[in-house]
Structure 1
Amino acid sequence: MSDPSDSIDLPGQLQALNRRLTQSNPELYRHVALYLQVLRQALPQQVRQACFHLSTQVHPQRYTELPLERRQLLHGQIQELVGRCCSLLTVEHLVILAAQISRERQRRDRHDREQLLEELTWEGESGGGEPEPLPPGSVQIAFAPPLAGGSFLWGALGHGEAPPPDTDEGERHDPDDAQFDDPDEDSEDGPEEGPSDETKGRSDLEELEDSLWQAGRLPDDPERVLRWMDGMELALARRLRNLSHAINVELLRGGVSRSLLPVSLLDAVLAGQLETMAAPANLMRLPLPFPGARGPQAQTLAVLLRPTDLELEEPRLRTCRRRLQQHRQEVRRMAQQFRRLQRRLRIHQAEQLWLQDIRPPSIPTD
């Protein structure tokens, strides 16, 4: 049993830790806002440099063959795309996008769980009765398809990691809108029925996740603050990926590029699932799989804006990143302390209940 003196003021220690976290949240908000402010200032030049390299070092002949009007239109379109993206690089807009990404992941996980359950049910009902006993050492070959719940397993095992590429989004992407529509718009969900008893627990978890993205308010739990920071990083990467794809579309329309990489391929590179070759900052070089081709290996280059490349090229962004990392380390220490205090409090409460349960009943006196 633990020492009772160690558990006297555990609720007070937890409250003090929450107050300390709440006091540090405005500083975190300022760090994120400053990072995005510097990014908005540096992004136009970084995009121009990446497009300059593609147009003059990779495809110089194509660019010189373009008429003046077409070149001016290309520059104007890219500048407009960057301006629209910069207007969305604020804390408030990224919170909205982070909430949308969270809902997308919830829908994907819910669909994968339902599909996995259907496959398990189908496999259990497809036998048509009790299977006949097999001789020892025999192998039974089933004709049922394998389980396809890969994304469900990824969500269970890879919590906190970058999600696998969302191929559905890439398939329904329309280059004309450059993916700068209202990020809070849910286009896939229709009217839903009321939750059943089997889904109430899951609905509670989803509501708790949605509460993480309340506008103008950061969580008061260190674990949730870390998740908030991770969600903002995912939203920023999504916003830059959308801009990268839109720029590649304009380079294709302008005649500088001859191919367009799908969004799912960009996501695979960002998630580290696809190996790339060395390339200048904010560009992605991929080998083309042409087996048996002679001569140098075919390659393709495309714009891919990533925070790491932008920070390497902009010293002010590196300074802002260091401040965010330092704040993350402090919040992580708070989370570790918070978990220890919570565990000690639960142990203390369980011990008190145990002592109450084994206490002999009092004998009434006359």
Structure 2
Amino acid sequence: MSDPDVRPAYDPSEQLARLQRLCRLRAIALYREQALYLQVLRELLSGATRQALFNLLGEVDPSRFSRLPKSTRQNFHASVDDLISRCSVLLTVEQLMPLVQQMQQEQRRQQAHAGRTMLQNLSRQTLNKDPEPELSTSPPQPEEPSGSIQLSLASPLDSPPAATASGPGAEPGPEHPDAKPTGDLDVLRSLFELAGDAMQQAQQPVEANGALDQSIAGDDHFLPNEPDALLHWIYAMDQALERRLRNLSHAVNVQMLRSGLAQTLLPISLLDAVLKGQVETQPTATNVLRLRLPLAVGDLDQGMDVLCVLLRSNDLEFDSPRLRQCRKRLRTHHHALLTMVRQQRHWQRRSLDREARTHWQTPSDSTQQLSGD
């Protein structure tokens, strides 16, 4: 079958271009739904924060707030209102995009730091434990006349060739045991460097797309044009939203500590662990976090409970039917993008296969020159 017969329906480049056009249309609708979701969230944020504070103070000590001086209560309300207004300004698509890029840079720095730390630990372990066991476990070799034959069960490949040729006065012998660990360390280092280069190459298109989005923010291509990049954009926006809400929660908790309404302050790292599901929490009201710390205080051998404010999008959606409807429409776009990503990967494999077949069936210029000579 000739190529023009199969081109309209099975041409990978045509199908990829079609997916790109569909992705542009999907991105426009997705942007509208995301903007509407954030708009509803901004409207609910003030009431949800105050309700979380009311539930928290009601569980800890209902009369603690009333015992504060009037000026302290007024300053606390003003501070909370200021924090909510400052956070609401940042809850837009345009304001979340720089935070997405910042979080990606933080992730790359953490990965690079983890790789350097692992290499340093490997090199330190190699330098500390390799030379000493060789010197302590190796038995002293008796002096033998030249030309004598040694009978041993060890493989001849285990003995270095320099030891047999140098004779009894050879001193560089102990340097050879370090050669193998050093070679292994070099191999590990090269593997980590290759992995780091691969991660940087994989993340360079994301950085390029981010810079391009900032330069043409008013154009139709504000969002990515590829299905996989648009799907990654959805995940990144959700993570950036959780980061904004976490920062607001921590700021409110700090203000409670300053006003005397709280006696403890949970660190941000612990809040992140809760958001990732790494820490078990106790049942409580929405947007309120209750943790049981394993601390023996008096007769309480089971520990003590610590409460704080932690605003989460799941809790906000649980309390708001409008926000749930917006999330439902966003999930519809998410499922459609998953299907488009599978199609994109299929046609990309077909394109690579066709390119490989073309190079295989078409002789290269060097082959033609050799045949001509």
Classify the TM-score, shorter chain: 0.7 to 0.9
Instruction: Tell me how far 1:228 sits from its aligned partner.
Output: 0.9
Contact 2:19 2:227 in 1 (8 A): no
Query: Superposition pairs for residues 275-354 of structure 1, below 5 Å?
Result: 275-291=280-296, 293-295=298-300, 297-354=303-360
Contact 1:212 1:224 in 2 (8 A): no
Matches of 1:70 and 1:199, distance apart in 2: 52
Instruction: Tell me how far 1:356 sits from its aligned partner.
Output: 3.2
1:104 is the counterpart of 2:101: no
**Length-normalised TM-score, structure 2:** 0.74
Instruction: Tell me how far 1:256 sits from its aligned partner.
Output: 1.2
Aligned pairs, how many? 304
Matches of 2:88 and 2:65, distance apart in 1: 27
Matches of 1:197 and 1:344, distance apart in 2: 27
Instruction: Tell me how far 1:349 sits from its aligned partner.
Output: 1.8
What is the identity percentage for the equivalent residue pairs of Structure 1 and Structure 2? 38
- Point out the more displaced range, 335-344 or 121-130: 121-130
User: Does the C-alpha gap of structure 1 residues 252 and 222 become closer, same or farther in structure 2, counting only changes over 3 Å?
Assistant: same
1:128 is the counterpart of 2:134: no
Matches of 2:328 and 2:71, distance apart in 1: 44
Q: RMSD across aligned C-alpha pairs, in angstroms?
A: 3.2
Structure 2 SS opposite 1:281: coil
Matches of 2:111 and 2:4, distance apart in 1: 43
What one-letter code is carried by the residue in structure 2 that aligns with 1:273? Q
Matches of 1:256 and 1:307, distance apart in 2: 25
1:209 is the counterpart of 2:206: yes
Q: Structure 1 stretches of 5 or more lacking a match?
A: 137-155, 157-195
Decide which structure has the larger Cα Rg and report it.
2
Matches of 1:199 and 1:305, distance apart in 2: 35
What one-letter code is carried by the residue in structure 1 that aligns with 2:314? T
Q: Structure 2 stretches of 5 or more lacking a match?
A: 140-152, 154-191
Matches of 1:117 and 1:197, distance apart in 2: 13
By percentage of residues, which structure has more helix? Answer: 2
Instruction: Tell me how far 1:6 sits from its aligned partner.
Output: 5.9
Could you say which residue in structure 1 is the equivalent of 2:156? none
Which residue, out of 223, 227, 235, partners 2:228?
223
Matches of 2:369 and 2:201, distance apart in 1: 42
1:272 is the counterpart of 2:274: no
Could you say which residue in structure 2 is the equivalent of 1:53? 55
Instruction: Tell me how far 1:362 sits from its aligned partner.
Output: 11
Structure 2 SS opposite 1:69: helix
User: Does the C-alpha gap of structure 1 residues 19 and 60 become closer, same or farther in structure 2, counting only changes over 3 Å?
Assistant: same
Question: CA-to-partner distance for each residue in 1:229-277, whole Å, 9 max, x for gaps?
Answer: 1111111000000000000111111111111111111111001000000
1:77 is the counterpart of 2:74: no
1:242 is the counterpart of 2:247: yes
What one-letter code is carried by the residue in structure 1 that aligns with 2:117? Q
Structure 1 SS opposite 2:131: coil
**Length-normalised TM-score, structure 1:** 0.75
Structure 2 SS opposite 1:237: helix
Contact 1:56 1:63 in 2 (8 A): no
User: Does the C-alpha gap of structure 1 residues 54 and 131 become closer, same or farther in structure 2, counting only changes over 3 Å?
Assistant: same
